[in-house]
Amino acid sequence: MPPPADIVKVAIEWPGAYPKLMEIDQKKPLSAIIKEVCDGWSLANHEYFALQHADSSNFYITEKNRNEIKNGTILRLTTSPAQNAQQLHERIQSSSMDAKLEALKDLASLSRDVTFAQEFINLDGISLLTQMVESGTERYQKLQKIMKPCFGDMLSFTLTAFVELMDHGIVSWDTFSVAFIKKIASFVNKSGMDISILQRSLAILESMVLNSHDLYQKVAQEITIGQLIPHLQGTDQEIQTYTIAVINALFLKAPDERRQVGVESSVDILDCPLTEMANILAQKQLRSIILTHVIRAQRAINNEMAHQLYVLQVLTFNLLEDRMMTKMDPQDQAQRDIIFELRRIAFDAESEPNNSSGSMEKRKSMYTRDYKKLGFINHVNPAMDFTQTPPGMLALDNMLYFAKHHQDAYIRIVLENSSREDKHECPFGRSSIELTRMLCEILKVGELPSETCNDFHPMFFTHDRSFEEFFCICIQLLNKTWKEMRATSEDFNKVMQVVKEQVMRALTTKPSSLDQFKCKLQNLSYTEILKIRQSERMNQEDFQSRPILELKEKIQPEILELIKQQRLNRLVEGTCFRKLNCRRRQDKFWYCRLSPNHKVLHYGDLEESPQGEVPHDSLQDKLPVADIKAVVTGKDCPHMKEKGALKQNKEVLELAFSILYDSNCQLNFIAPDKHEYCIWTDGLNALLGKDMMSELTRNDLDTLLSMEIKLRLLDLENIQIPDAPPPIPKEPSNYDFVYDCN
């Protein structure tokens, strides 16, 4: 007979004694269980003791998390969080350097536990740590020659403990003094600082900026790009990641008027506060440093760095939002002058020299004719074409950039289409407006960066005006595709759809430069797109006859079983999941995998992202598959209830799923990407005997069904298909031979 669900069998350790095997009744108060354990070892004052996990996490057992205790868990009897916090509070103030260093090391480790953190914070521990940081700097400078390693470790452990304590969200960031901010900033600004101190200082500055508007102002006054550039030029990718994260945080929180500083500002980039974000990001130096020392460095870019580069890319493109949402004022002479400039560049070379002396009516007639050649919808007043947002004035900015920086191509496109009489002319003005809108949609201009995405494009870091250059390449592509399609004005939307497909397919290859992007587009001509579409259509529409459909129905269960086995095999391999919090840089990892017999889910926390599979025996927690009640996704997940409908949480919502078990227990997941999300939701549903409903399953089913049917329809009569691949031929006895290409 199985034991009651409320009874959990565990082992409990106590230093200097043999471990005890014990049955814990989850219905009993935790204090009563601790008293029972203490009585077994004849320990008095049971209120001074607590239970904690004996694994590397060392987390305390509380009434809130006691349901996470599973059969076979190893626990440790230890001093209570309140006692531990009190002792450490006293030890870190010791006059002995060795004792102080050891106490700070313990504090840095224990501060990850929210129960301990609450007790230590109640003793005003955060204030004590900030005072130590402020006063410790002078002592560090005085004694660095004789005790630099000791003081370096001491400061590192102090900052680590501070970061861990603040991560729990118990204390407001607004409580810190300017003196403390200056000290933290000085660690970043100082050259030759210990890596661990620099890393934690950058993490603290990032959190300050993200969590407090007042601190953003103070941090922005202390940090200049001049101090951050050396960290980007270094070889430590983690430091580079933290540095870009600080830049992103400052940029994200900068007031709009400070983001939009003019590109032509004469402010010195090396001394400019980071509040002048638009000016800084427009400077070649910062962009080229990131390109040279981060993107093109001789090492792989890890996921966190990719995410930060993606965020920087999104925030940079979001600078265009203001122009994208600004309507043109037909009465604004400066804006009208831009349209005049477009006309002048295209047609002045062929205009008659005495045109300016003509009558007003003649000039208006000439302008109307020229505006029609330029491809505007409103020939009389083309300013009206730019009153719709998006793309607003951004389209006009792109057209002017193209006309000035690629003048030959601009004149060629305009004159080539204005001289046609066969209704196949491509309207440059209308095309530019629609293309700008389309590119803004593709790059999601105006949307906040996702918390999980790391989809950055290296080519956008290769030019100071990357969006404008992107437009220039695409407008020439549009003109080329228009001619290949022999399109008329009625085909305008069809052409735009083809161009969008060409651009999207080229972007998925992640070209490393704009020139490479241009080459990719050259290979994606309209003819090639038709071939791709035809191939995809054949895969979708082939074999629609009744016998083939019956064959599909017959072999579909076999294919679904194959997909099911693949999903379960992937669950057996396991996946590393991320625990998201307010600061991605300090995210924790945990791993989950299915046992080979498909009976138990093993899971547990990790210190860092693993390389390869994690063994079952190193994962502390277990969840029997038989205990799983349901699998929920998206908004139905318990950990997504509080997220609301914020734009930045949209993608997290799409990757969230939870396993519900027992009465009020759940195991919450945020998949690393959409593919893993589909794998796990499919696999869990298969374990529960439910249908696999993901998009990935539909795609796999279509692909495998198509392949299987094509194989069965091949003319293979009297052809023996081997079960194993043919053997590799033996090496020749000698290599004394030559092949003459001539």
- Torsion on CA atoms 554, 555, 556, 557, rounded to nearest 10: 90
Average pLDDT, rounded, for the chain: 85
Beta strand 665-670 pairing with 628-633: unpaired
Those residues whose C-beta lies under 8 Å from the C-beta of residue 471, and which sit 6 or more positions away, are 398, 401, 402, 432, 435, 436, 439
Least confident of 102-116, 282-296, 634-648, 712-726: 634-648
Q: What is the pLDDT of residues 167-181, one digit of tens each?
A: 998 999 988 989 999
Write down the pLDDT at residue 146. Answer: 47
DSSP β-bridge partners for residue 601: 594, 623
Write down the pLDDT at residue 227. Answer: 83
Q: What is the pLDDT of residues 29-88, one digit of tens each?
A: 999 999 999 999 999 999 999 999 887 778 899 998 888 888 888 999 999 999 999 999
Write down the pLDDT at residue 281. Answer: 55
Taking 70 as the threshold, does the pLDDT of residue 108 lie above it? Answer: yes
Q: Residue 115's closest CA among 53, 46, 54, 168?
A: 168
Taking 50 as the threshold, does the pLDDT of residue 312 lie above it? Answer: yes
Category of 398 on φ-ψ map: left (φ > 0), alpha (ψ -120 to 50) or beta:
alpha
Q: How confident is the model at residue 126 (pLDDT cuts 50, 70, 90)?
A: very high
Q: Residue 109's closest CA among 60, 153, 161, 53?
A: 161
Mean pLDDT of 13-32: 90
Mean pLDDT of 246-272: 59
Mean pLDDT of 249-264: 63
Taking 70 as the threshold, does the pLDDT of residue 457 lie above it? Answer: yes
Write down the pLDDT at residue 253. Answer: 84
User: Where are the extended beta strands (E) located within 531-598?
Assistant: 575-579, 588-594
Q: Residue 210's closest CA among 158, 241, 169?
A: 169
Q: Residue 519's closest CA among 485, 475, 473?
A: 473
Write down the pLDDT at residue 57. Answer: 74
- Tokens 């929210």 locate to 114
Mean pLDDT of 363-387: 89
Q: Which 8-state DSSP code applies to residue 60?
A: B
Write down the pLDDT at residue 514. Answer: 96
Single pTM value for the model: 0.75
Write down the pLDDT at residue 376. Answer: 93
Q: Residue 140's closest CA among 194, 104, 189?
A: 194
Q: What is the pLDDT of residues 183-230, one digit of tens each?
A: 999 999 988 888 999 999 999 999 999 988 888 888 988 987 778 889
Taking 70 as the threshold, does the pLDDT of residue 675 lie above it? Answer: yes
Identify the H or E element spanning 621: strand 621-624
User: Where are the extended beta strands (E) located within 449-559?
Assistant: none
Write down the pLDDT at residue 428. Answer: 95
Taking 60 as the threshold, does the pLDDT of residue 541 lie above it? Answer: no
Greatest mean pLDDT range, 55-59, 447-451, 492-496: 492-496
Percent of the residues in the chain that have a pLDDT greater than 70, as a whole number: 87
Those residues whose C-beta lies under 8 Å from the C-beta of residue 261, and which sit 6 or more positions away, are 267, 276, 277, 278, 279
Q: What is the pLDDT of residues 263-286, one digit of tens each?
A: 333 334 444 444 455 565 555 488
Greatest mean pLDDT range, 60-69, 74-83, 541-550, 599-608: 74-83
CA atoms within 13 A on the CB side of 292: 11
Write down the pLDDT at residue 125. Answer: 94
Give the span between the Cα atoms of 210 and 214, in whole angstroms.
10
Q: Which amino acid is at 409?
A: A
Q: Residue 499's closest CA among 472, 519, 470, 529?
A: 529
Q: Can you read off the two tokens belonging to residue 110?
A: 């224990």
For 148-197, what is the HEC assignment?
A: HHHHHHHHHHHHHHHHHHHHCCCCCHHHCCHHHHHHHHHHHHCCCCCHHH
Write down the pLDDT at residue 324. Answer: 96
Q: How confident is the model at residue 510 (pLDDT cuts 50, 70, 90)?
A: very high
Q: Residue 152's closest CA among 194, 180, 184, 189?
A: 194
Burial 23-35 (b: 16+ CB within 10 A, else e): ebeeeeeeeebbb
Write down the pLDDT at residue 580. Answer: 65
Write down the pLDDT at residue 268. Answer: 43
Taking 80 as the threshold, does the pLDDT of residue 638 lie above it? Answer: yes
Domains of the chain: 7-79 (3.10.20.90), 172-262+272-300 (no CATH), 325-349+360-537 (no CATH), 555-699 (2.30.29.30)
Beta strand 49-53 pairing with 621-624: unpaired
Write down the pLDDT at residue 676. Answer: 93
In the three-class reduction of DSSP (H, G, I as helix; E, B as strand; rest coil), residue 235 is classed as: coil
Write down the pLDDT at residue 608. Answer: 73
Q: Residue 402's closest CA among 451, 343, 472, 341?
A: 472
Write down the pLDDT at residue 88. Answer: 94
Q: What is the pLDDT of residues 552-582, one digit of tens each?
A: 889 999 999 999 999 999 999 999 988 765 4
Task: Answer with the residue of higher pLDDT: 144 or 538.
Answer: 538
- DSSP secondary structure letters along 105-131: HHHHHHTTSHHHHHHHHHTTHHHHHHH
CA distances from 574 to 331, 609, 612, 614, 668 (A): 63, 13, 9, 8, 15
- Torsion on CA atoms 90, 92, 94, 99, rounded to nearest 10: 120
Give the span between the Cα atoms of 263 and 277, in whole angstroms.
10
Write down the pLDDT at residue 220. Answer: 87
Task: Answer with the residue of higher pLDDT: 377 or 543.
Answer: 377
- Tokens 């997290």 locate to 652
Give the span between the Cα atoms of 4 and 27, in whole angstroms.
11
Taking 70 as the threshold, does the pLDDT of residue 427 lie above it? Answer: yes
Taking 70 as the threshold, does the pLDDT of residue 395 lie above it? Answer: yes
Taking 60 as the threshold, does the pLDDT of residue 336 lie above it? Answer: yes
Taking 80 as the threshold, does the pLDDT of residue 719 lie above it? Answer: no
Least confident of 50-54, 259-263, 348-352, 515-519: 259-263
Write down the pLDDT at residue 666. Answer: 87
293-301 CB contacts, 8 Å cutoff, 24+ apart: 293/232, 293/233, 293/234, 293/240, 294/232, 294/237, 294/240, 294/244, 295/458, 295/461, 296/458, 297/235, 297/237, 299/237, 301/237
DSSP β-bridge partners for residue 12: 20, 75
Mean pLDDT of 325-335: 92
Write down the pLDDT at residue 226. Answer: 76
Give the span between the Cα atoms of 273 and 224, in whole angstroms.
5
Task: Answer with the residue of higher pLDDT: 614 or 457.
Answer: 457
Q: Which 8-state DSSP code applies to residue 21?
A: E
